[in-house]
Structure 1
Amino acid sequence: MLKSYNNLIKIQKRSYKYFIEQGFEKLKLIKLDIENKYKYKIKTDYFHIKYKKGKYSIDECIIKNKTYTIRIYIPLEIYYKQEVIQKYVKLGEMPLMTNKTNFIINGNKRILLNEITRSTGIYFEKEEKTKNSLCTLIPQSGNWINKLTENGSIYTKINKGELKIPTITFLEFLGLTRKKIIKSLKKDDNKLFYRENLLEKNQNIKLQRLKLNLEYEICNLIYNNLIKNNGNSDIGKIGRNRINCKLFKKYLWKDEEFIKPEDILGGTIYLKNVHFSKTKKKDDIDNLNNKRIRCIGELLEKELEPSINNIFENITLKLKKIKNTSIKSKKYDTNLLIENKFIDETLKKFLSISPLCQLMEEKNPLSETSHKRKITYRAKSSRNMSIREIHPSQYGKICPIQTTEGKNAGLILSFTNNYALSINGFIMTPFYKMLKGKIKSKKGTFLILSEQEKNLKFLPKSLENNIYKETLTRKNQAFIKSKRKHGNYSEISNNQTISIGVSLIPFLEHDDANRALMGASMQQQAINIKGKENPIIDTGIEKEILKSTTFTDVTNKSVLIKFISKKKSIMSRKNDNKLITINNKSKYEKIKRNITNKTKNKKKKEKIIISELIKKSNQKILTIKEFYKQKERWMKKGEIFKNESRRKNNVTLQLGKNILTGYISWEGYNFEDAIVINKNIIDNEIFTSMYLKNYRTFLINNKLGKVRITEKTPLLNIKTIKNIEKNGLGKIGKEIKKNSIIIGKYLKNKSISKKENLILNLILENKVKDTSVKIKKKCEIIKTKIYKYQKIYLISMMTIEKRSLETGDKLSGRHGNKGIISKILPAEDMPYTPDGKILDIILNPLGIPSRMNVGQMFESMLGLAGKNLKERYTAEIFNSNENNITSEFITYKKLIEAKKKTKKNWLFNPNNPGKISLFDGRNGKSFYQPITIGYPYILKLIHLVKDKITARLIGPYSIITQQPLRGKSKKGGQRIGEMEVWAIEGFGGAYNLQELLTLKSDDSKNRTKTLNNIINGKNLPKPNIPHSFLVLIKEMQCLCIKVKIYKDL
């Protein structure tokens, strides 16, 4: 039972903490007690493992490209006669999770995704094609045991291989007697089954014995790998509990965590009943009852297990080589017994290469939090359609909307807002207890598993108090109508069934699920802009998202903020913090005064936090933590004292800007979701974003010559070096133009005196070579650092690049209404409202009914009312419909209120509610029909045209078709597809089309001549037959079709 559940990354912290405390349990199980020929022993104390912090802090690891680690020490005791040597030995270094649940690996922030897998245990299913029944026994590690019914017989397979063994033969070899097997099978009425099919069919005894000899040899190999080696048949406590619940009684073999022959026999009997008598039901493999989550701690423990075994094997080998004299003189270094490379290399490799460990998304706070709450299927063999589909058991546990688009759809999922995990890794969701139709919220929330939901009735959250009224009720993963008084539990919130990304969409009930998916992913792709602000309409979860990200600093305990700045924060706290977290405001103020008065003359514990002003981001986007200046301020536990907002007490999620929008077609420029914007947006830098880039160069003196950094660089003009100071480095804070030099550097060649190198002196005409660092784009230098390693110097220069909106950039709303900027109009040409306000953006109204995301209309109109009333609203994603209060009613009510208070009669027209008369800025005339306008929340996405656009002069070609490769990363060419050919045909560009399809594509003979002809000023060669057409002819000839080319027709 939980009283509250608001921490969005609590599960990740708990899992890593469990790994630190109990993850090295394998060390305790392995007994290291060795004695060599010199009669001395070595033992380990497994219960006193120590941890120490690494050399570098989090900020130092990011700056210096190091790994944020923790050092592990284990106590060793060496006994020789009556002497004992005791010492803590370093076991290795392990990456340490930060407070925001991410790792720092080589200076990069990385996170571990949660993995969803099938739980250990036994499962029964039926194959649709063959109609055979299948039983699968899944251990934690090792081989899967499969039993298959085929032609009335039961066979055993290992790991779904082709080799089949009769089950009775397999059970006999595992130690069960023929009597025990037959006695167990005789309990069933179907005697024909076990007599004719399970027992041997062959009447010829000789042939039967030969067959059995082969089967026993196979069984012997399986026995050695399966039963004798217990490590390959470990089912754990979870598997033992699930097998006992299905086949036996719960109290049987409680402490037995390995597969027993009785488990295989019980599975055989259960499989027989599933296939023939049908008294038992098959399992639903896609049900969450049969799946569990592997979190960070369990994943690290699984990777660490083989390296720990290697450490102890290595210790035993080294102990045998120790000499007797080294122990007597006590000169032997015990640190040499353990090699640190096993743990260090294993974990670093896993956190760098594994597909589960990814670079953390830092576009905005939402993308970071959503990335940490993702779950994925790792096994490639289980990526069928049934896994990708939405299952009823996912209700309240896994979001049915948010997933990736493309080939991984349904494989990468997101947790819901209020999910929780049991100790065994099964997903739970909270509910309120109901008694006689009334919700008992004071008792707290109850976490319920999927298997506990049987025969229970769950009601949605509603304010309806009529206990006799019938409502939709969920029972046994289906919806029925039932009275409220018969309900057992009630949901705690309306957004309990969706993820945090989807729950940020206001008026979600009016949107199609596909557009809601796009809206959630678009919000995660929003980047930081200059003019960002709070949304007029939010959903109430924004503040909780901020607390779990690296974009904010949160107090761990109740503290008194004494000093705060961009780089430094000083806070003091009292030892007893329990009194401070009291909800009663009057008592809270008295306690605060008493603590401050009593501790004036006493020394208080002060904590100094030093943070970097500008931090490196994985997406190279600039974010600066802002703060509100105040002399002294008391803050409770969990409050934000630094965030990325720029106003007083403004601690909410900011992704975009509320701008005046009109839904109108404009001269065809907003066809197919294209967007027309006002030039004032660019001039006021509302959607301007900042990007960071590092420029690096080395100073190395070698045989080629000496490297110098100076302002007076030879071979350069004065104009090119005007931004450089006397030391040869660019001026900090100065704006530098494109293709300018920021580091003046040249290489002075050494004179070559040897006779055999006289040819090089003749080739090297200039003794000075310019190696200056130039910038490709307009930017501003903000930081310069110099690092020294032996005789090598590294100069690092950080620059900021401003990017304003331009044609081709991508904008989006919160409802999946995305589009590309097609036209930037001057302010005087844009439509304007009756009070003279000019529209900032024009969207196509045809994109609303076709996409079925009507929620953006309610957001836009309610935003218009909130802007005029200077109010902000918190809208529920699903309305309760109490007293017929709908989204339409709330929106129109606020528009009428705004009309009365502001005396702007045009805000609400009863004949056309939500629409007003707009005027054309070009001629001042009003449009023929009223138009919908409002203030939606618009986002700037990371898909910018500067990063997408590409061109090539030369590049690689495909071997088969001889056409240019595809994609910017491969230096590919422009794609001329069917639509592009039609477009050029429509305008009659025959020669342009011929050039695109031949000389610029796959006319391999003439494309080499083209460059020579251009250089020599000659005409282009006549196009030849494209190579792709010759490939087509060869393919047709392979089909025995005779094809010829006639050139002279």
Structure 2
Amino acid sequence: MSLSNVKPRIERFGEITEVITLPNLTEVQVNSFRAFLQADRAPDRREDTGLQSAFREVFPIDETEKGRSTGLVLDFLEYRLGDAPYTPEECREKDLTYQAPMYAKLQLIHKDSGLIKEDQVFLGDLPLMTEDGSFVINGADRVVISQIHRSPGVYFTSSYKGIKKMYTAAIIPMPKRGPWIELEFASGILEMKVNKRKFPVSMLLRVLGYDDASLRALFTEFEPDAELPEDKSAGMSADEALLRLFTVLRPGDPPKRDKAIQYLYGLLADPKRYDLGDPGRFKMNTKLGTSRQERTLLMFQDGKFSDAGLVDTIRYLMALQRGLETVGIGADADGVVNEVPVTEDDIDHLGNRRVRTVGELLADQLRVGMGRMARGVRERMLLGNPDAATPTKLVNNRPIVAAMREFFGRSQLSQFKDQTNPLSDLRHKRRISALGPGGLTRERAGFDVRDVHRTHYGRICPIETPEGANIGLISSLSSYAKVNDLGFIEAPYRRVSDSRVSDEVVYMTADIEDRYTIAQANSPLNADGTFADDRVLARRKGDPLLYAPSEVDFMDVSPKQIVSINTSLIPFLEHDDANRALMGSNMQSQAVPLVRADSPAVGTGVEERVVTDSGTSVITDVTGRVSYVDARVIQVTLTEDAPQAGMVKGNVRTFELVRFTRSNQGTNLDQHPIVEVGEEVSAGQVIADGPASDLGRLALGQNITIAIMPFDGFNFEDAICISEGLVRKDFYTSVHIEKDEIEARDTKLGPEKITRDIPGLSEAALRDLDEDGIVRVGAEVKPGDILVGKTSFKGESEPTPEERLLRSIFGEKAREVKDTSLRVQSGQGGIVVKTVRFRRGDEGVDLKPGVREMVRVYVAQKRQLQVGDKVANRHGNKGVVSKILQPEDMPYLEDGTPVDLVFNPLGVPSRMNLGQILETHLGEVARLTGQKFVTPVFDSATETAIKEMLEVAAAERLQRRKDEGFELDKREQEVLDRAGKLGVIGAPGSNYEKAQMELSRTGKSILYDGRTGEPISGPVVVGTMYVMKLYHMVEDKLHARSTGPYSLITQQPLGGKAQFGGQRFGEMEVWALEAYGAAHTLQEMLTIKSDDIDGRDAAYQSIVKGEEVSGSTIPESFKVLVKELHSLGLDVEVLDQGDKSVDIFEGMMPKR
């Protein structure tokens, strides 16, 4: 919540004028899904992409397998989507999926009679994307992240065999749409490899109609001495070569011409089974200088195979191996041969990698489901009665539904949405992963594929990536980047014509960018758009050089186009080392939304866009006047000339606000109005702040006064000291909401019951439950308190005949029930904010089998900053709170202002993140002047400008001191003298007023120790820094166990907080006790405190009774070891002191 609805004055730095604004930051998701659905297009005008292409590839379905034919063809006409039965909010509430029914209009054609049956068939529900670019699956928000992989097409790479450099060509189809084909030289013979089987390429060329003469002509152009391989193929016809090829590819099958044609057609010529796709054909045409349209490698017409790019690939490969600079490929209508430059490919170049967005991933999954459905249709066509068949009877939608469920529930690319704050939400949707189905694995990915490539400039952020095993494999789109229709990432550039930079913006892929010379965004320009300098620093293929203005083709649109949204939020980024900037980028996504949101005093200008595009705040889509405001609703009355929006009733648009809703990560999603009745609003304006939003600006942390100085060792090793004033004022207080649920089931012993009537509990324990046994909203609960009362029947032994007789005479006695209530778990608690009850049969409620009803309780917890919590700034300076001191004990400034937080100075120089020092200085100006600053990345406020502003502020402060009659005392003079000796300022001499002004330019201040009142011996950097509280809170991590669950096999305590386990006393800890000689401690650690069942039970009884704890017995792990040795056929026995056999399994199994 913002502290005030009055917007502060914001001063902007930066000299570069940007000609375009940032594109919509979620468009990579929204546009892809829109193109996949094409719901807004008439069926006859839909393009052959996404859902339409999935239908077109599977249909028509006919049955001509194994020589049998039913004379039926099932064809597809069009599809449509129905309305979603529930809104996304209702789906989140009831654990449903936000989806719409999908129908297809199908035709069943009888070939013999020409009879056509038409039907509209329900093909299952299709999950829909919400407005903000995510999906709601089973009540939880999920995001489908984009996948980056090698683009289909042809690639030429090299490797060394001994000392000889050998080239290889690889022809790659779309994922799972055909085999990879490799062409390589082996012992001087050009071989082709398909499905791990090798054969001379001349064999396939003969199938394509090449005879001996044309084969020699093809090869001798590059190798004059080339000869055909000695494989008895001389003079072989196309049919003979086809059968020979078939025996190589299918060695077990008898070679028959029809079967060979069918196999080769399916392998390389059938568009349904082998598909280069539009990207693959585009890449192939670009590389080989051709203009083919076919999406297969071979074509089949009139019983013959013909080439669709294979021969061109062979010619290019031979030219490359020969070391030629160009090769002639193809010929146009006039017979002019196309000369193409011959180069090796860089597989990490972004021109050779493409992004598979959500629409393509969904279409691929639908193809899988529809393929299974088609197999079922063919079976029913063969087995059923053709006359009685209808489209509805033939089609079973279960494979499609199962494929979609599998994708959204289990795919590596469908992820639980990160809703920690608006930035993490936005970042998740802009994620690009090289992992996932058909992608790389962490173990296989080498250094090259993870590394930053020059083509990442303006497309993929070189900074933002995880720190662990996924480094370089998961990345983020750059700020201005877009993904084009073919899946290649494009970056924007301003066109330069005749040395003049225009405002025309061109989006280019990486391979097109390589053709041009591009100037930097900060190149000085004259008023007419011409370059101010005679030589312009520009780059070509990533190499920076000085060029004449006439040689420059394009110019960057903005300095921040290099980096992602997260990274562009770091002020003075250019002064930070990349490793720490990476940490800063990632940690901003871990910041928890605070109760008192405060936007940064030093921002970068991107904060507003994050709030508007993340979808967490309320943005009006109409222009008008606010007519009503309360905590849950805002109403806007439209102005007369305003266009009508979809949700307007009459001329009033109503916006409902989200209040105290739990996010996926347990943070608080809460919206509150920032407009008043009578206020004029325009479309696109933020009218209600969401979490971590302050008057429409992103607010992940707090502006606090910090000092960078050692503090009695309390800030050793990145520990951080804070003032209790921050805790008292709720600066770092956050709200966290936990969800608990309980189910009442039908069991064999009888139904469980949700009730207030629980045996053996006092009225005090039930005080907060209503008449149904559910805790009331507003109740404060602590660990062990009942949230929902529930009773279950106890198990009973089978009654004897006498008991059955007595029961039948005197009636059934009241059966005993046990308390199985839902209680607050250890370490949790707070205020109950919401309860929801679902009963079987309620509308839209889908409970698991055997569940009669379910109750869900939401408990909100207010968490203040405490020792052990992790805090960080935006520059990667992170640490754990080690001590909370009283404000009066913290160091304070000369005007009595106590410092809020003390950072360790050793955490700055070696880590080279000096941006935080400049932020602190400019933040101090903001504190003294009461305004806020925007300083864009790579176009920041200069050090000179900051020094001058500090000097002006200091002059005002000194004048006030003079007017109030204050003079420097001796101790302050000593600090200034020391600053002179240290070289921070010039030697003051006797002019201490000048020394104070000089010190103010350095950004340092005289600071006083709050505990002694003495000045600290040297000047200290003091200023305002933006500091965030991160998701890693000590309250979630601190854990203690007395007795709890044990592992079933080893009977040792479980590990980890989630299992209510204990710390493992491991091998090295055992060594420590052995070295110390603590034999008795070691024995009880390995027995009664671990897996000695009888011993620990006896020890527990002894403790309860106050008796001395007795000795231990045999631990369970020893019994497991003996049993494992038995399983190896080793007869192991335990002997006592008298060498008699001891049965350690007594009571567990019969004696031998």
TM-score (norm: length of structure 1): 0.84
Q: Aligned partners of 1:991 and 1:909: how far apart in 2?
A: 65
Counterparts of 1:672-683 in structure 2 under 5 Å? Answer: 672-683=717-728
Are residues 956 and 840 of structure 1, via their aligned partners in 2, closer, same or farther at CA, if it must alter by over 3 Å? same
CA contact (8 A) 2:616 2:691 kept: no
1:242 corresponds, among 273, 283, 288, to 283
CA contact (8 A) 1:626 1:646 kept: no
Q: Aligned partners of 1:471 and 1:553: how far apart in 2?
A: 45
Q: Aligned partners of 2:894 and 2:221: how far apart in 1?
A: 88
Q: Aligned partners of 1:667 and 1:981: how far apart in 2?
A: 36
Give, in angstroms, the shift of residue 344 of structure 1. 1.9
1:18 corresponds, among 10, 21, 35, to 35
Q: Aligned partners of 1:495 and 1:761: how far apart in 2?
A: 87
Q: Show the counterpart of 1:775.
A: 824
Pick which of 389-398 and 715-724 moved more: 715-724
Give, in angstroms, the shift of residue 107 of structure 1. 0.5
* Paired AA for residue 718 in structure 2: D
Give, in angstroms, the shift of residue 320 of structure 1. 6.9
1:384 corresponds, among 446, 465, 475, to 446
SS at structure 2 position matched to 1:351: helix
SS at structure 2 position matched to 1:127: strand
CA contact (8 A) 1:810 1:819 kept: yes
Q: Show the counterpart of 1:896.
A: 951
Are residues 470 and 674 of structure 1, via their aligned partners in 2, closer, same or farther at CA, if it must alter by over 3 Å? same
Give, in angstroms, the shift of residue 741 of structure 1. 2.3
Kindly indicate whether residue 1005 of structure 2 is the aligned counterpart of residue 944 of structure 1. Answer: no
Q: Show the counterpart of 2:7.
A: none
CA contact (8 A) 2:634 2:654 kept: yes
Q: Aligned partners of 2:186 and 2:875: how far apart in 1?
A: 53
CA contact (8 A) 2:32 2:357 kept: yes
Give, in angstroms, the shift of residue 792 of structure 1. 2.3
Q: Show the counterpart of 1:910.
A: 998
Are residues 61 and 760 of structure 1, via their aligned partners in 2, closer, same or farther at CA, if it must alter by over 3 Å? farther
Tell me the matched-pair count: 977
Q: Show the counterpart of 1:589.
A: none
1:551 corresponds, among 616, 640, 649, to 616
1:58 corresponds, among 88, 91, 113, to 88
SS at structure 2 position matched to 1:343: helix
Kindly indicate whether residue 211 of structure 2 is the aligned counterpart of residue 177 of structure 1. Answer: yes
Counterparts of 1:457-856 in structure 2 under 5 Å? Answer: 457-462=517-522, 464-465=524-525, 467-558=532-623, 561-571=626-636, 604-610=650-656, 612-644=658-690, 650-700=695-745, 704=749, 711=756, 713-747=758-792, 754-755=799-800, 767-776=816-825, 777-790=828-841, 792-856=852-916
* Paired AA for residue 54 in structure 1: A
* Paired AA for residue 937 in structure 2: I
Are residues 469 and 876 of structure 1, via their aligned partners in 2, closer, same or farther at CA, if it must alter by over 3 Å? farther
Counterparts of 1:99-110 in structure 2 under 5 Å? Answer: 99-110=131-142
TM-score (norm: length of structure 2): 0.77
Q: Show the counterpart of 1:1038.
A: none
Are residues 458 and 995 of structure 1, via their aligned partners in 2, closer, same or farther at CA, if it must alter by over 3 Å? farther
Are residues 468 and 809 of structure 1, via their aligned partners in 2, closer, same or farther at CA, if it must alter by over 3 Å? closer
* Paired AA for residue 27 in structure 1: F
* Structure 1 segments unaligned to the other structure (5+ residues): 581-601, 881-885, 1032-1049
Are residues 423 and 908 of structure 1, via their aligned partners in 2, closer, same or farther at CA, if it must alter by over 3 Å? farther
Q: Aligned partners of 1:750 and 1:180: how far apart in 2?
A: 87
Q: Show the counterpart of 1:599.
A: none
Give, in angstroms, the shift of residue 604 of structure 1. 3.6
Give, in angstroms, the shift of residue 471 of structure 1. 3.9
Are residues 174 and 973 of structure 1, via their aligned partners in 2, closer, same or farther at CA, if it must alter by over 3 Å? farther
Are residues 84 and 263 of structure 1, via their aligned partners in 2, closer, same or farther at CA, if it must alter by over 3 Å? closer
Are residues 759 and 38 of structure 1, via their aligned partners in 2, closer, same or farther at CA, if it must alter by over 3 Å? same
Pick which of 449-458 and 1011-1020 moved more: 1011-1020
Are residues 323 and 575 of structure 1, via their aligned partners in 2, closer, same or farther at CA, if it must alter by over 3 Å? farther
Give, in angstroms, the shift of residue 82 of structure 1. 11
SS at structure 1 position matched to 2:475: strand
* Paired AA for residue 245 in structure 1: T
Render the CA deviation track for 1:754-797: whole Å, top value 9, x for unaligned. 436969999x9993422333213331111122221159232222
Q: Show the counterpart of 1:46.
A: 77
Kindly indicate whether residue 458 of structure 2 is the aligned counterpart of residue 396 of structure 1. Answer: yes
Give, in angstroms, the shift of residue 118 of structure 1. 1.2
Q: Aligned partners of 1:1001 and 1:278: how far apart in 2?
A: 74
Give, in angstroms, the shift of residue 487 of structure 1. 2.1
Q: Aligned partners of 1:239 and 1:310: how far apart in 2?
A: 26
Q: Show the counterpart of 2:302.
A: none
2:224 corresponds, among 170, 180, 191, to 191
Give, in angstroms, the shift of residue 485 of structure 1. 4.8
2:170 corresponds, among 136, 158, 163, to 136
Q: Show the counterpart of 2:124.
A: 92
Counterparts of 1:413-428 in structure 2 under 5 Å? Answer: 413-428=475-490
Kindly indicate whether residue 143 of structure 2 is the aligned counterpart of residue 111 of structure 1. Answer: yes
Give, in angstroms, the shift of residue 312 of structure 1. 4.2
CA contact (8 A) 1:998 1:1024 kept: no
2:501 corresponds, among 439, 452, 461, to 439
CA contact (8 A) 1:557 1:577 kept: yes
Give, in angstroms, the shift of residue 234 of structure 1. 1.8
Q: Aligned partners of 2:248 and 2:791: how far apart in 1?
A: 73
Give, in angstroms, the shift of residue 531 of structure 1. 2.4
SS at structure 2 position matched to 1:545: helix
* Paired AA for residue 687 in structure 1: Y
CA contact (8 A) 2:625 2:636 kept: yes
* Paired AA for residue 599 in structure 2: N
CA contact (8 A) 1:752 1:758 kept: no
Pairwise CA RMSD: 4.3
Are residues 191 and 842 of structure 1, via their aligned partners in 2, closer, same or farther at CA, if it must alter by over 3 Å? same
SS at structure 2 position matched to 1:61: helix
CA contact (8 A) 2:790 2:820 kept: yes
Q: Show the counterpart of 2:157.
A: 125
CA contact (8 A) 2:658 2:669 kept: no
Give, in angstroms, the shift of residue 527 of structure 1. 0.7
Q: Aligned partners of 2:1089 and 2:750: how far apart in 1?
A: 44
1:308 corresponds, among 367, 370, 377, to 370
Kindly indicate whether residue 428 of structure 2 is the aligned counterpart of residue 371 of structure 1. Answer: yes
Give, in angstroms, the shift of residue 879 of structure 1. 3.3
Are residues 26 and 709 of structure 1, via their aligned partners in 2, closer, same or farther at CA, if it must alter by over 3 Å? closer
Give, in angstroms, the shift of residue 255 of structure 1. 4.2
Are residues 681 and 997 of structure 1, via their aligned partners in 2, closer, same or farther at CA, if it must alter by over 3 Å? farther
Give, in angstroms, the shift of residue 533 of structure 1. 0.6
Give, in angstroms, the shift of residue 737 of structure 1. 3.0
Are residues 213 and 19 of structure 1, via their aligned partners in 2, closer, same or farther at CA, if it must alter by over 3 Å? closer
CA contact (8 A) 2:625 2:638 kept: yes
Are residues 736 and 489 of structure 1, via their aligned partners in 2, closer, same or farther at CA, if it must alter by over 3 Å? same
Are residues 735 and 155 of structure 1, via their aligned partners in 2, closer, same or farther at CA, if it must alter by over 3 Å? same
Pick which of 775-784 and 630-639 moved more: 630-639
Give, in angstroms, the shift of residue 895 of structure 1. 1.6
Kindly indicate whether residue 1007 of structure 2 is the aligned counterpart of residue 921 of structure 1. Answer: no
Q: Show the counterpart of 2:3.
A: none
Give, in angstroms, the shift of residue 179 of structure 1. 2.4
Are residues 215 and 39 of structure 1, via their aligned partners in 2, closer, same or farther at CA, if it must alter by over 3 Å? closer
Q: Aligned partners of 1:779 and 1:844: how far apart in 2?
A: 35
CA contact (8 A) 2:268 2:296 kept: no
Q: Aligned partners of 2:185 and 2:566: how far apart in 1?
A: 46
Render the CA deviation track for 1:293-324: whole Å, top value 9, x for unaligned. 11111111111113223444544555677779
Give, in angstroms, the shift of residue 861 of structure 1. 1.8
- Paired-residue identity, %: 27
* Paired AA for residue 859 in structure 1: E
* Paired AA for residue 136 in structure 2: I
Give, in angstroms, the shift of residue 955 of structure 1. 7.0
Q: Aligned partners of 2:696 and 2:1045: how far apart in 1?
A: 50
Q: Show the counterpart of 1:254.
A: 293
Render the CA deviation track for 1:397-443: whole Å, top value 9, x for unaligned. 111111111111110011100001222111111111224544222xx
Q: Aligned partners of 2:266 and 2:787: how far apart in 1?
A: 65
Are residues 86 and 560 of structure 1, via their aligned partners in 2, closer, same or farther at CA, if it must alter by over 3 Å? farther
Render the CA deviation track for 1:153-198: whole Å, top value 9, x for unaligned. 2221124x3x43122223224543332221111222x323x22xx5
Q: Aligned partners of 1:737 and 1:939: how far apart in 2?
A: 28
Are residues 319 and 629 of structure 1, via their aligned partners in 2, closer, same or farther at CA, if it must alter by over 3 Å? same
